[in-house]
Structure 1
C-alpha cells in the first residue's frame, strides 16, 4: 500500500469526497491542504493536514470514514470535527 501524500490531495482542493455512511453518501469538500512541521529525517512521508467541510447540520463523530474521490479512488480517512462556520462543520485529517 502506497502512503498518501500532500501532493496527491493538493490537486483536489474544493472537490468533493463522498463518505458512505448508513446507506447514503455524505459530501465532504476538501477546503485546505497544508504541510505540517517535519521533526524527523527518517519519516516515511512529510506530515500534512487536510481540512474538509460538510454542510450538514448534523455533527459527524470522530472516526475513520471510507471516502470516494473520482481521481484518488477509495480512501479510509480518520476525520476529527474541529470547528463550525456558516457553511457547516469542519473536519481535520492529519497524516504523519
Structure 2
C-alpha cells in the first residue's frame, strides 16, 4: 500500500487538529468559566444593590396611583404619582418573552412641573422600598409632563 504525499499531509493535518482541539477547548472553557464567575459576581452585586432588577410589572401595577419619591440632589425629594404602566415587549418577541416569563414595561410618573434632568435617581416607596431608577422627562398626551422609566427584563 503506497501513501501519497497529499494523503500523508492531510492525515497529519487532521491528526494535529484533532489532538489540539481538546486542549484548546479545555483552555477556552476554563477561561470562560473564570470570566463568567467574575461576571456573575458583578451582576449579583448589582442586583442586590438595585432591587428593581427583581421587580415585576405586577408589583408596580399593584402600586398604580400611589406616591413615589425621587431623591434629587442632597436630601430633597420630589413626590410623583405612578399614573400608567405600559407593556414594551416588541411584537415579534411577545410569545418568547411570555414563554420565558420575561417582561419589558414603562412606568409613567406625574409630578410637579419642576424639570429634572435625565439621570439615575434613588426612588422611595412605602411598599416597594428604595431602589435606583433611570428616569427621563417626556410629554404625554394623556398626562402632560411625565417622568418615565423603562424596566427591561428581556434577554431573549
Query: What TM-score comes out, normalization by structure 2 length?
Result: 0.53
Match of residue 80 from structure 2: 28
Compare the two structures and name the one with the higher strand fraction. Answer: 1
Q: Partners in 1 of 2:87 and 2:117 — Cα distance?
A: 25
* CA deviation after TM superposition for structure 1 residue 21, in Å: 1.8
Match of residue 81 from structure 1: 137
Q: Which contiguous aligned blocks of 4+ residues in structure 1 show a shift greater than 6 angstroms?
A: none
- Equivalent pairs counted in the alignment come to 94
Give the SS at the match of 1:7.
helix
Q: Partners in 2 of 1:21 and 1:37 — Cα distance?
A: 30
Q: After alignment, is 40-49 or 5-14 more displaced?
A: 40-49
Q: Which structure has the larger Rg over C-alpha atoms?
A: 2
Match of residue 61 from structure 2: 10
Give the SS at the match of 2:54.
coil
Q: After alignment, is 42-51 or 64-73 more displaced?
A: 42-51
Any unmatched runs of 5+ in structure 2?
A: 1-46, 48-52
Q: Partners in 1 of 2:140 and 2:56 — Cα distance?
A: 26
Query: What TM-score comes out, normalization by structure 1 length?
Result: 0.82
For the 8 Å contact 1:27–1:54, the answer to whether it is kept is yes
Q: RCO higher in 1 or 2 (8 Å CA, sep ≥ 6)? A: 1
Any unmatched runs of 5+ in structure 1?
A: none
What root-mean-square deviation, in Å, do the aligned CA atoms of Structure 1 and Structure 2 show? 2.3
* CA deviation after TM superposition for structure 1 residue 58, in Å: 2.0
